Amino acid sequence: MQTQINSSVKDVDIFSRLKITSKKLRHGLLAVSTLAILSACTTETKPKTDVVKDDTLTATNANKDIYVAFAGGGWRAHTGHTAWMVGLLDNDPDTPPIAAQHMSLDEAFTNVSAISSNSGGSWFNVMLSYSDSFRAGLEKPAAATKYLTDPSAYYINEKTLFNTLSGESLSLLCSVDNEFSNLLAIACMTDLNWDNLIEDIVFGPLSMSNDLAGTSLNGKQAWTDRKTISLAATALTGDVVLGENGFLSGHEKFYYDAPDLGALNIVPVTFGSAAEANVTAPKFFSGGTGSFTLSYGKTGDIITQEEPNNLRGVYADSINVIHAAAGSSAAIGFLSSDTINAKNAAALKLPSGVIWDASYEADDLSVFVNLPDPNGASKAVTRAASPRADINHNAKNRIIKIADGGALDNSGVAHSVMLHQANYRSSVPFEIVAFDNVQKTYSYAPTRVGNSATPVALTQDIGIDLAFLFGYGYTPIAGTNGQDSGMCMEDYCVTTQTNTVSQQIFNSAGLNAPTLWRWASTQTGTSQPCELIYTPYAVQTVANDMMGIKGGYSGTLHSFTANCPSAETAPLKAGHWAAYEDMYAAIQTGLQAENSKGVNYLRTAFKLPTP
């Protein structure tokens, strides 16, 4: 069976990817267990060198080292980031473009040295940095008003493709009405395979999946060739299900375990490519608290054990960009960790007897990679298909599984800090411009800082994921002395009963900064109003081994937030596309309001001239 797509969209033979296996016989069981969970919530590698730049760096060069971070949030994030970038480029959509009003991405990012992201922000980052056809849609004059309906741009093609596919249903799991129903329905069309979902659905428009099929993270467009690209992801480390051989009484279960002290069954990793040879490239294992042991098991017995003492020095810059984006955005990939499911079983009312089955059925919802031989010459992490039903093969190739950029939807900020610290001494301040498109904010009451004459509002708001960076926003777990870790996919959070892996990387006092710009839209149809918020935070880093952050570095976090309560992570019904369009329009209108105050703040953060 072939699904025909509108002629303006790439034809996708989704069903040719289906693998009719014993998994299909067990979807009913997975439907029960997954419902409980979800209701609760080939380019050659460049040589690598570690370089710490001298603190005598000139002020001019230091000022050009701006880092841009795109937060996650699925289709909401992607559409929101598009709107912010179009607003940055197309300053005055009602006037014929002239040099002072319209610019290219190359011009807008002239002072940017690195772009970091995770999850849906990584879809956007990859398209922005590697796809000519996607970039062209953003750079068109008057894109502020015409982008959403432009047949040569991404949005209308993705909407057509998604709506064509979302009505299909192959199993009970895919037709159940829950928060992930459309997303799971599409995943079921590719036999619950996240890689295929990202390739066929997210990168299907504009023939990007074909155009980028042979593109590695080192294969950037000319305008981003001298910029470092980082995609945040998470390596699953606690009793992670790899596969199963046989069925019912004769089956063998394969898993691996990679304990890392204090890591809560995950370790932050980075898919990244350095700007140039004299820039320290992002290492794959970007966080964690030391080396770990890879242990591969079969029906509960360890049969192969690897001790990769040198794996901290491997890189993932030669991996395909779509595979990297899939790893950074595998939002349901945590379900393939037996340990994570078990830790949450009681709170989620998940029957213990189906934990393995849920993890096994979800094995392809996380992304597989091969780690290099720690004693070999190659330091490259490579793509792996679903492992063979052979535990020796899995162990020999050091196969591990990757899930969503994880700790925070704005973990791109943490990766920006990590990159700065790898290349500069603490005397050089950093500047990070972070874009966050959320459905809710964290409200707080700042105190006046020093003798500042600037009035501070009684209550200010920050995106909940950014609040985690300052040590706020965590939710206590009832009946325990712990709290949720901030490691969440929608409402399903990875939790710990006894301690919390903190996501804090900035001093809490950094929140005491006045918001310089707030603008709210009016009610549009069924969409609730959006609010745009800009706050520059003067921050200092605090040590966080888990996130790979050293303390004592200072800088500015420019936070641009669009709080749009009606804009869902995934478009579960037609009305959600309307909410994305209302969000896009709100960002364009808001940036132009009050004599382009928003545009001026945006361009100032990028160190660009204002009109």
Give whichever of 62-66, 283-287, 335-339 has the largest mean pLDDT.
283-287
pLDDT reported for residue 543: 93
CA distance to 119, 146, 148, 184, 293, per residue, from 84 (Å): 17, 15, 14, 29, 43
Q: Is 454 left (phi over 0), alpha (psi -120 to 50) or beta?
A: beta
Burial degree of 101 (CB within 10 A; 0-12, 13-18, 19+): middle
| Closest residue by Cα to residue 201 from 217, 212, 190 | 190
Residue located via tokens 């039903």: 389
The pLDDT-based confidence of 93 (bands split at 50, 70, 90) is low
Give whichever of 43-52, 118-127, 167-176, 404-413 has the largest mean pLDDT.
118-127
Task: Indicate the angle between helix axes 74-89 and 120-130, nearest 10 degrees.
Answer: 40
Tell me the average pLDDT across 538-562. Answer: 93
C-alpha to C-alpha distance for 308 and 324, rounded to whole angstroms:
22
Share of the chain above pLDDT 90, in %: 37
C-alpha to C-alpha distance for 609 and 88, rounded to whole angstroms:
11
Task: Return the structure tokens found at 212.
Answer: 């980028």
Residue 148 has pLDDT above 80, yes or no: yes
C-alpha to C-alpha distance for 380 and 278, rounded to whole angstroms:
19
Q: Do 413 and 116 contact (CB within 8 A), yes or no?
A: yes
Q: Do 409 and 536 contact (CB within 8 A), yes or no?
A: no
pLDDT in tens, 578-604: 999 999 999 999 999 999 999 999 999
The pLDDT-based confidence of 247 (bands split at 50, 70, 90) is low
Q: What is the mean pLDDT of the chain?
A: 75
Give whichever of 164-173, 298-307, 363-372, 589-598 has the largest mean pLDDT.
589-598
Count of CA atoms in the C-beta half-sphere (13 A) of 297:
16
Query: Does 585 or 459 have the greater pLDDT score?
Result: 585
CB count within 10 Å of CB 449 equals 14
The pLDDT-based confidence of 41 (bands split at 50, 70, 90) is very low
CA distance to 53, 143, 236, 503, per residue, from 484 (Å): 38, 41, 17, 11
pLDDT in tens, 393-448: 888 888 888 988 654 456 889 999 999 999 999 999 999 999 999 988 888 776 54
The pLDDT-based confidence of 107 (bands split at 50, 70, 90) is very high
Q: Say what the pTM is.
A: 0.85
pLDDT reported for residue 442: 83
Residue located via tokens 């300053």: 91
* Helices within 276-390 (DSSP H only): 321-329, 338-348, 355-361
Q: Is 240 left (phi over 0), alpha (psi -120 to 50) or beta?
A: beta
Task: Return the structure tokens found at 293.
Answer: 């042991």
Residue located via tokens 């809710």: 440
The pLDDT-based confidence of 488 (bands split at 50, 70, 90) is very low
Q: Do 234 and 269 contact (CB within 8 A), yes or no?
A: yes
Q: Do 18 and 9 contact (CB within 8 A), yes or no?
A: no
Phi, psi dihedral angles at 216 (to 5 degrees): -95, 175
Q: Do 610 and 597 contact (CB within 8 A), yes or no?
A: no
Q: Among the listed ranges 204-208, 239-243, 480-484, which one has the minimum average pLDDT value?
A: 480-484
